[in-house]
Amino acid sequence: MPITEILARNAALYGEDISLVEINPEIRETRASWKEYELVETNPERKYRREITWREFDDKANRLANFLLDRGLQKGHKVAILLMNSLEWLPIYFGILKTGALAVPLNYRYTEEEIKYCLDLAECDVLIFGPEFTDRIEAIHEQIPNVKIRLFVGQDCPAFAESYYALTACCSSKAPKITLSDEDDAVIYFSSGTTGFPKAILHAHRSLMTSCEVEVNHHKQTRKDNFLCIPPLYHTGAKMHWFGSLLSSSKAVLLRGVKPQWIIKAVSEEQITIVWLLVPWAQDILDAIERGDIKLEDYKLDQWRLMHIGAQPVPPSLIRRWKQYFPNHVYDTNYGLSESIGPGCVHLGIENIHKVGAIGKAGYSWKLQIVDENGHPVEQGEVGELCVKGPGIMKCYYNDPEASAEVLRDGWLFTGDVARMDEDGFVYLVDRKKDVIISGGENLYPVQIENFLRTHNAVKDAAVIGLPDRRLGEIAAAVVELKPGHSCSEEELSQFCNALPRYKRPRRIIFEKVPRNPTGKIEKPRLREQYYDGSLIEVQTESQ
């Protein structure tokens, strides 16, 4: 069953119930006067709190679908979404699906070059974007002629786009008569490995429904639950966890901000029962409690039943520390990839907190195995590559049969992660074959950073590795080899890196020779061993 039918069901059965709430706490903190307050309250982009019912959600999705169909969109066309988390995001996503077209969420941190690359790779016909991205789209809008429709979700529409609000407001709110099947193409997400630019990951509607079922099975959502969604909705993790709210017809809150006080305040004021956190945010909450910035007795938190973490390895010490302050919370961790439609193909399970440190066992409707280099299962306790199989596996890397064949074999997805299984059947990650750094839940691709560093006129070679960090999980550390006779300071190179998006900038720079093996490959295991001394680095970072 396509998930669009679940939305229609919720609208029919629970139409007046609140489906989504958007909270933008920065608005409340930055209001300077009552005049500004009045302006804010009339501008949907600048309200502190907004909400929609299930019927309004479905109506908005139908209006967009009918607009796109009237403009000639057909099954198989692609519609890119480039928005910050907002009350518009999910209705737009569902409106696209209702047309039979494919939704293509884009990372809001992409540069102009990356946006253009992804639009071209996915062969997008439509782009829907918000005001935060006007400058980036303006810089490339003449270079994307195949994107015929550009919808702007904001108040002051640029000349090269059309107004989403104005054009969809007058469209029918009746569901379009488009027949969808579980095998129809539904979405393209983006991922990447060591080659730099992302791969386009194609999923069918079956994958989306699988995520709904997995989430409800793992976390037991009911209509009484209220999920706090903080991570970006372009990310499979955030959206697929929210799919549990969709299937259970329960409310969810989109929080635009990650300050510890904002998170705790939202949990209290909105009576949140489930929160999905990244490691840095959990660390920040605990630090704020221990500094006295957050006094738990000032908040209503008794209803908060589940805290779960995903997107990166979770230090067992963090969960032990968490339980000191929240002893009644159940806890889970989830492992997944965009190729396996996000989290849940492996999960710890709320009953297995004694196994913190493991990523868990095969998730609901999933299978797993650990194999050697020849694809044969290894003995229990031995190290090998983790493979998963289930109804949520991608169809392929879009327009990339060679890359697809590398990871899809006999129905199994080869994850590229090295793991072992203990005597109780719990899986532990050992290392990653893919050379990706996960910092604060975001993937950093070393080749991109290395190539940029090598454009500095004093740099001969560069290698970027991940080093453990207490707050972010990992940081990008750059080992830089200078050209003979050239000099460069750490400060100078850091300033040079300001041309990169903030989250891609190396947090540590080491001036040293870059070791390469006889075939010319950088010996990154050697570098990790050399620069990781066994302790966790504590890096003072700006907001991600």
Judgement on whether residues 145 and 23 belong to the same structural domain of the protein = yes
- Of 401, 432, 463, the residue that ends a domain is 432
Confidence tier at 186 by pLDDT (50, 70, 90): very high
Tens digit of pLDDT for each residue in 245-269? 999 999 999 999 999 999 999 999 9
Q: Which residue has the higher pLDDT, 287 or 430?
A: 287
CA distance 417 to 403: 16
- Of 216, 240, 257, the residue that ends a domain is 257
CA distance 193 to 436: 6
Judgement on whether residues 111 and 244 belong to the same structural domain of the protein = yes
Q: What is the pLDDT of residue 35?
A: 45
Domain-embedded: residue 301: no
Judgement on whether residues 238 and 93 belong to the same structural domain of the protein = yes
Q: What is the pLDDT of residue 357?
A: 84
- Of 257, 276, 295, the residue that ends a domain is 257
Kindly report the backbone phi and psi dihedral angles of residue 467, in degrees, each rounded to the nearest multiple of 5, phi listed first: -120, 145
CA distance 105 to 80: 6
Say which residue the tokens 């999905």 belong to: 276
**For the chain, first and last CA: distance in Å?**
37
Judgement on whether residues 329 and 416 belong to the same structural domain of the protein = yes
Domain that holds residue 384: 320-432
Average pLDDT estimate for 136-148: 97
pTM for this structure? 0.83
User: By mean pLDDT, which of 105-109, 303-307, 435-439 is the weakest?
Assistant: 435-439
Q: What is the pLDDT of residue 194?
A: 36
55 vs 7, 13, 60, 91, 209, CA distance in Å? 9, 9, 9, 11, 20
Judgement on whether residues 84 and 229 belong to the same structural domain of the protein = yes
Domain-embedded: residue 297: no
Give yes or no for residue 279 having a pLDDT over 50: yes
CA R_g for the chain? 23
Judgement on whether residues 353 and 249 belong to the same structural domain of the protein = no
Average pLDDT estimate for 48-58: 96
Q: What CATH number is attached to the domain comprising 521?
A: 3.30.300.30
Domain-embedded: residue 280: no
User: By mean pLDDT, which of 133-142, 162-171, 241-250, 442-451 is the weakest?
Assistant: 442-451
Q: What CATH number is attached to the domain comprising 410?
A: 2.30.38.10
Judgement on whether residues 217 and 342 belong to the same structural domain of the protein = no
- The total domain count for the chain is 3
Q: What is the pLDDT of residue 195?
A: 43
Judgement on whether residues 164 and 229 belong to the same structural domain of the protein = yes
